[in-house]
Structure 1
Amino acid sequence: MSVCFPSPYVLGAQLHPSGCRFTLYAPDQECVHLLLWHQGHQPQRLAMHEYKRGYWTRDVADVVTGQEYSFDVSHNGQSWCVADPYAQAVTGPLTYRPPYTSSQSTQVARCQVVDHELFDWQGVSSPQRSIRDTVIFETHVKGLTQQHPDIEPAQQGRYLGLVSPAMLAFYQQHHINCLQLLPITCCLPEPHLLSQQKTNYWGYNPYVWMAPDPRYAEKDAVNELKTAIRELHRHDIEVILDVVFNHTAEGGEGGPILHFKALDHAMYLQDGQQLHNHTGCGNTIDIRHPAALKQVLDTLRMWVTDYHVDGFRFDLAATLGRDGDTFDPHNAFFHAIAQDPILSKVKLIAEPWDIGPDGYQLGQFPVNWAECNDKIRDITRSLWRGEPGMLQDFATRLMGSRDVFSAAYWPDHLPINYITYHDGFTLQDVVSYAKRHNHANGEKNQDGHGDNRSANYGVEGPTNNPDIIKIRDQQKRNMMASILFSLGTPHILMADMLGHSQQGNNNAYCQDNPISWLNWQTQDHAWSNWLATMITRRNAIVPRFIDALSGTQRHFNQITWRHPNGDPVHDHQWPSLQALSCEITLGAHHSDAGQSLLIAINSGHTAHNLRLPPNHQWRIVCDTATDETTVGTPESFQRLVEKSFLVCIDGDWL
Structure 2
Amino acid sequence: MLRVTASTTGRQVEVWPGVPAPLGAHWDGTGTNFALWSAGGTAVDLCLFDPDGTEHRQRLQETTHQVWHGRLPGVGPGQRYGYRVHGPFDPASGARYNPAKLLLDPYTRAVDGELRLDEALFGFDRRDPGQPNTTDSAPFVPRGVVIHDSFPWDGDQLLRTPWSDTVVYEVHVKGATMTHPDVPPALRGTYAGLAHPAFVEHLVSLGVTAVELLPVHSFVSEPHLLRRGLTNYWGYNTLGYFAPHAAYSSAGSGGGQVTEFKAMVKALHAAGIEVILDVVYNHTAEGDHTGPTLSFRGLDNGGYYRLNGEDPSRYTDYTGCGNTLDVRRPPVLALLMDSLRYWVTEMHVDGFRFDLASALARSFHDVDRLSAFFDVVHQDPVVSTVKLIAEPWDIGEGGYQVGNFPPPWTEWNGKYRDTVRDVWSGAKVGVRDLAYRLTGSSDLYRSDGRRPFASVNFVTAHDGFPMADLVTYQEKHNEANGEDNRDGESHNRNWNCGVEGPTDDPSVQELRARQVRNHLATLLLSTGVPMLTAGDELGRTQGGNNNAYCQDNEVSWLDWAAIDPDLWSFVSHAVGLRRNSPVLRQEAFFEGSEVPGSGGTRDLAWFAPNGEQLTSHDWFDTGLQTVGMYLDGRGLRLRDQRGRPVVDDSWLIWLHAGPEPVDVVLPGAPWGDGYELALATEYATGLPPRPTALPPGGTQLPSRSVWALRVLRTPEPISHAE
| TM-score, length-scaled by structure 1 | 0.95
Which residue in the other structure is 1:266 paired with?
Answer: 303
Find the aligned partners of 2:203 and 2:47 in 1 and give their Cα distance. 45
1:224 to 251, 260, 265: 260
Q: CA RMSD in A?
A: 2.3
Which residue in the other structure is 2:107 paired with?
Answer: 86
Matched, 1:368 2:416: no
Find the aligned partners of 2:592 and 2:680 in 1 and give their Cα distance. 32
Which residue in the other structure is 1:592 paired with?
Answer: 646
Which residue in the other structure is 1:132 paired with?
Answer: 164
More off after superposition, 445-454 vs 122-131: 122-131
- Equivalences for 1:200-211 in 2 at 5 Å? 200-211=232-243
Q: CA deviation at 1:542?
A: 4.8
- Is the Cα contact below 8 Å between 1:151 and 1:166 reproduced in 2? yes
Which residue in the other structure is 1:567 paired with?
Answer: 612
Q: CA deviation at 1:594?
A: 7.7
Q: CA deviation at 1:551?
A: 10
Find the aligned partners of 1:187 and 1:553 in 2 and give their Cα distance. 51
- Is the Cα contact below 8 Å between 1:435 and 1:504 reproduced in 2? yes
Counterpart AA for 2:147? V
Find the aligned partners of 1:99 and 1:507 in 2 and give their Cα distance. 30
Which residue in the other structure is 1:582 paired with?
Answer: 629
Q: Deviations over 1:525-569 (max 9, x none)?
A: 111111111111112225665124389999996321121222121
1:237 to 273, 276, 287: 273
Q: Match of 1:291, SS? A: helix
Q: Match of 1:323, SS? A: coil
Matched, 1:610 2:631: no
2:462 to 380, 398, 422: 422
- Is the Cα contact below 8 Å between 2:62 and 2:70 reproduced in 1? no
- Is the Cα contact below 8 Å between 2:578 and 2:584 reproduced in 1? no
2:208 to 168, 176, 186: 176
- Equivalences for 1:478-557 in 2 at 5 Å? 478-542=518-582, 545-549=585-589
Counterpart AA for 1:429? D
Q: CA deviation at 1:483?
A: 1.1
Distance 1:413 1:6, change over 3 A: farther
Counterpart AA for 2:110? A
- Equivalences for 1:346-495 in 2 at 5 Å? 346-406=386-446, 409-411=449-451, 414-495=454-535
More off after superposition, 46-55 vs 416-425: 46-55
Which residue in the other structure is 2:695 paired with?
Answer: 635
Find the aligned partners of 1:594 and 1:51 in 2 and give their Cα distance. 64
Q: CA deviation at 1:161?
A: 0.4
Find the aligned partners of 1:413 and 1:71 in 2 and give their Cα distance. 45
Q: CA deviation at 1:232?
A: 0.5
Q: Deviations over 1:125-179 (max 9, x none)?
A: 3321012111111111111101111211100111100011211221222122211
Q: Match of 1:498, SS? A: coil
Distance 1:270 1:565, change over 3 A: same
Which residue in the other structure is 1:621 paired with?
Answer: 678
Which residue in the other structure is 2:65 paired with?
Answer: 53
- Post-superposition, which runs of at least 4 consecutive aligned residues in structure 1 deviate over 6 A? 550-557
Matched, 1:110 2:143: yes
Q: CA deviation at 1:72?
A: 1.7
- Is the Cα contact below 8 Å between 2:39 and 2:303 reproduced in 1? no
Counterpart AA for 2:630? E
Q: CA deviation at 1:481?
A: 1.0
Find the aligned partners of 2:544 and 2:117 in 1 and give their Cα distance. 30
Q: CA deviation at 1:581?
A: 1.1
- Is the Cα contact below 8 Å between 1:229 and 1:239 reproduced in 2? yes
More off after superposition, 79-88 vs 380-389: 380-389
Find the aligned partners of 1:161 and 1:193 in 2 and give their Cα distance. 27
- Is the Cα contact below 8 Å between 1:368 and 1:413 reproduced in 2? no
Counterpart AA for 1:380? V
1:650 to 688, 703, 711: 711
Find the aligned partners of 1:132 and 1:331 in 2 and give their Cα distance. 28
Q: Match of 1:363, SS? A: coil
2:79 to 67, 74, 93: 67
More off after superposition, 642-651 vs 237-246: 642-651
- Is the Cα contact below 8 Å between 1:13 and 1:20 reproduced in 2? yes
Find the aligned partners of 1:156 and 1:21 in 2 and give their Cα distance. 36
Q: CA deviation at 1:191?
A: 1.2
Counterpart AA for 2:165? D
Larger radius of gyration: 2
Find the aligned partners of 1:225 and 1:12 in 2 and give their Cα distance. 20
Q: CA deviation at 1:50?
A: 3.2
- Is the Cα contact below 8 Å between 1:285 and 1:292 reproduced in 2? yes
Counterpart AA for 2:27? L
- Is the Cα contact below 8 Å between 1:426 and 1:501 reproduced in 2? yes
Counterpart AA for 2:159? P
- Is the Cα contact below 8 Å between 2:116 and 2:140 reproduced in 1? no
Find the aligned partners of 1:561 and 1:602 in 2 and give their Cα distance. 13
Aligned residues: 648
- Is the Cα contact below 8 Å between 1:603 and 1:644 reproduced in 2? yes
Find the aligned partners of 2:585 and 2:498 in 1 and give their Cα distance. 39
Distance 1:230 1:92, change over 3 A: same
2:40 to 28, 35, 38: 28
Counterpart AA for 1:108? V
- Is the Cα contact below 8 Å between 2:603 and 2:636 reproduced in 1? no
Distance 1:372 1:430, change over 3 A: same
Q: CA deviation at 1:292?
A: 0.8
Find the aligned partners of 2:44 and 2:64 in 1 and give their Cα distance. 13
Q: CA deviation at 1:322?
A: 0.4
Which residue in the other structure is 2:193 paired with?
Answer: 161
Find the aligned partners of 2:343 and 2:534 in 1 and give their Cα distance. 23
Counterpart AA for 2:707? L
Find the aligned partners of 1:526 and 1:41 in 2 and give their Cα distance. 54
Find the aligned partners of 2:143 and 2:636 in 1 and give their Cα distance. 63
Distance 1:124 1:284, change over 3 A: same
Task: Name stretches of at least 5 consecutive residues in structure 1 with no aligned partner.
Answer: none
Find the aligned partners of 1:97 and 1:554 in 2 and give their Cα distance. 70
More off after superposition, 53-62 vs 387-396: 387-396
- Is the Cα contact below 8 Å between 2:440 and 2:589 reproduced in 1? no
Distance 1:237 1:98, change over 3 A: farther
Task: Name stretches of at least 5 consecutive residues in structure 2 with no aligned partner.
Answer: 1-15, 90-97, 123-134, 597-601, 639-644, 714-722
| TM-score, length-scaled by structure 2 | 0.86
- Is the Cα contact below 8 Å between 2:112 and 2:143 reproduced in 1? yes
Q: CA deviation at 1:107?
A: 4.4
- Equivalences for 1:209-358 in 2 at 5 Å? 209-219=241-251, 220-264=256-300, 265-272=302-309, 273=312, 274-358=314-398
Counterpart AA for 1:427? M
